[in-house]
Structure 1
């Protein structure tokens, strides 16, 4: 997934380079965020592995782990929405 997002960012960067629609800093910020995105993916994989090893009847432990899943998922959503907003910003500048 992160490879495809990187591909998209390069495409948006190229579009912007040809047309000067938004600041380069906006795009570069998303490249930096993508580094964090990869770390969050790793966190997600770790949390999933932990849950698989847990006793499914121990609801207290599961609740803690599921809250961690929630935290990671909302962070992933944030990263995706940031890239989506960048895309939208470019679209609006084209019009």
Structure 2
């Protein structure tokens, strides 16, 4: 998908997340756009960004990890987002 910088498997054009997102969108299963506090809490406890998190959940997990003192580069590596994106998440905390 445009703008996706997650690693792809050998000889694949899409990463697993994008491939699954396309599959879900064509299979009739509605895509979630809401924020589930349980998903956010689980991701913060595990210090990981599992596949299937919505964008709002990823942002919430990133912001919680920032409050816990994790560095921007560490959160960017965990989430697969750019350091610039994590910097924006941090700026939104102080705004």
| Higher radius of gyration, 1 or 2 | 1
TM-score normalised over the length of structure 2: 0.29
TM-score normalised over the length of structure 1: 0.29
Q: Which has the higher relative contact order, 1 or 2, with Cα contacts under 8 A spaced 6 or more apart?
A: 1
Larger relative helix fraction: 1
